[in-house]
Chains A and B, each alone.
Chain A
Amino acid sequence: MTTIATTEEPTAPARRRRRMPLAAAIALVPAAIIVAVVYVGCMIWTVRLSFTSSRLLPNLDFVGFSQYERLLSNTRFLTSVENIVLFGVLFIAACLVFGFLMAVFIDQRIRGEALFRTIFLYPYSMSFIVTGLVWQWVLNPTLGVEDTLHKLGLTFIDVDWAVNRDTVVYALVLAAVWHGAGLVMAILLAGLRGVDADLWKAARVDGIPTWRVYTSIVLPLLGPMIVTAVVLLAISVARLYDLVVAMTGGGPGIASDVPAKFVMDHLFERSNIGLATSAATMMLITVAIVLAPWVYARYVRPQVPR
């Protein structure tokens, strides 16, 4: 291994310095323009609008930070931020825990592995809209589980989580974990299967209990997989919108409102483009802050030779 590394070292910087052929550069121009105009352009446009007093239609006056001041005293926005934080923490934690447990379960070389894998991963193949509708139905007091239980005489059990303003966020977490845990399972299972079989043998000879092998030896090896899973889950937290719309409509009242829904409502229903874009800008900044360490670790920090 060392010999390969040393022979390759001198050629690597040379390759990096090599110029891109002209044809390739020309072929990439449209993509570059799209990225510049659509992504960066829209981002700048949004940030610019957040400093205006635009209501139904955008205008380009400049009102400083007044939209942000209004935003930060807006109860609805503050509730939505609280909700997304609570939802995000619970959702990511629960997905990791359940995903890991399911992956460990399947890793035991059980019979019918393919069947279980399909069952666990199946919810992920549905959109959040369908997930939301399914769970709205399941948790609907007059149609779903509660009604069935009550008809069976179990009237002391209430499953009114989705319509109770104290529990509605937890109901959203429940539905989202049902949707997303399978993905974590699939990612971590791939990691578990990549663990050297000799490592397991060595641990058995050493008399290390299985659960201890998972926590002390295997889990640290899964670090990169866990980071990948967290990034994917965090993305679905940031853009959480469709699940809320389908399942609770943000209700009861504003109890399950989230920032994305706040932005959409103010853009299209309440004709308050200025406030909506300032909320969108706040979301952008938050996402950037959350992702920065990952981007740094992944792309910026010079690769340490292993």
Chain B
Amino acid sequence: MNGVNVKDVSVAFGALKVIDGLSLDIAEGEFIVLLGPSGCGKSTLLNAIAGLLDVEEGKILIGGRNVTWEEPKDRSIAMVFQSYALYPRMSVRQNMSFGLKMAKTPRADIETRVTRAAEMLQITHLLDRRPDQLSGGQRQRVAIGRALVRDAAVFLFDEPLSNLDAQLRNELRLEIKRLHMELGSTTMIYVTHDQIEAMTLADRIAVMKDREIQQLGAPDELYHRPANLFVAGFVGSPKMNFLEGRIAAGASGLMFENDTVSLSLPDDVCAAPPAPGQAVTLGVRPEHIALDGGTWDGFRVDIVEPLGADALVWARRDRTSIQLRVTTDEPVKVGTPVALAPDPRRANLFDTETGRRL
């Protein structure tokens, strides 16, 4: 019973409503990532769940218990911060045991919990050091350890890896994933604006923007069937290509066209077939377009960004610029004329006006 239920919660700073009537149900043992651009209210939602911010309306349930007006320490949560927030001038051991000591946990119990957490995170040899004698990655391990000893039902992470360099980030990301698997029934809520973290860690991702959850779903679903233009553009790197156009009238079957290109689509691309002539936006991911041998001709290679395993290529025709990911051993030359071949089965259609997926 470690689930979290957020019911119609609103949070405001003075007159500014940062979260408005938001609901989110998280199952026991689930790993939820809150993903969104800066300032969209991710931290605010997390702090509200933690009890560090008062909610204006709505309810928060943890493990089925209404904790809306309880102090953070009584909510059975643990939290890890971007800035580590370790207690300075205290050793790692003291950092991990201070909260337990305040809660009058028996000494022997504290000792076992600290030892176990330190072993899980491989920081046993650091227990007697002070935070200022640790590297960033070690500090964040200690902060995770401090959260771990609380034996909490729910773990809250607020961009825990943002202050680390790329290498350490990968390492600790894996560590967090492993931790989640080992702990089993512990629910984790993880805030980030790094989509690699989101895709790799999450059972489900909640994409947030403008005080709302834009889409809630498994990473796969977000990637393959984004609910709207914002999610389509925000998830995935490099970004999805968008082409504005309309549904061709009079064609047999579904057909997208604009002044530059046209593409015949299978019917199952849309849930409800749009009317001919409707203004739509076609979205195709860079990895779903082949460089040559297709029907989109008249393009020339504009820029090539080699990435090692593959290369990002910008192809251009007049004012239409399309990015694609090319896996090839032969280097692509700038200026080569190409006929792009998008995969129609993996295309997305959006209503241009509302931005929603069709």
Contact = CB atoms under 8 A, between A and B. Distances in A.
Q: Please say whether chains A and B are actual partners in one complex.
A: yes
Interface string A1-19: 1100000000000000000
B52 interface: yes
Interface in A195-210: 196, 198-199, 201-209
Interface in B66-114: 71-74, 77-79, 81-90, 98-99, 102-103
A306 interface: yes
A2 B168 CA distance: 13
Nearest to B136: A1
Given A199-B85, A217-B88, A209 B72 contact: no
A7 to B, nearest CB: 14
Give the contact-size bracket for chain A: 20 to 34
Given A201-B47, A204-B72, A196 B102 contact: no
A207 B51 CA distance: 12
A243 to B, nearest CB: 37
A212 B102 contact: yes
Interface in B125-149: 132, 135-136, 143, 146
B73 A207 contact: yes
A1 B139 CA distance: 14
A206 B81 CA distance: 13
B88 A198 contact: no
B85 A196 contact: yes
A208 B150 CA distance: 13
Contacts of A1: 136
A220 B98 contact: no
Given A199-B85, A217-B87, A306-B132, A205 B72 contact: yes
Contacts of A205: 50, 52, 72-73, 77-79, 99
A196 B150 CA distance: 22
Interface string B261-289: 00000000000000000000000000000
Contact of B99 (A201, A206, A220): A206
In the A-B complex, the 9 residue pairs with the closest CB atoms: A207-B73, A206-B99, A198-B85, A202-B85, A220-B89, A198-B81, A205-B72, A205-B79, A198-B83
Given A204-B71, A205-B73, A208-B102, 4 more contacts: A202-B81, A202-B85, A205-B72, A208-B98
15 contacts: A1-B136, A2-B135, A196-B83, A199-B87, A201-B52, A201-B79, A202-B86, A202-B143, A203-B87, A204-B71, A205-B72, A206-B102, A206-B150, A208-B98, A208-B102
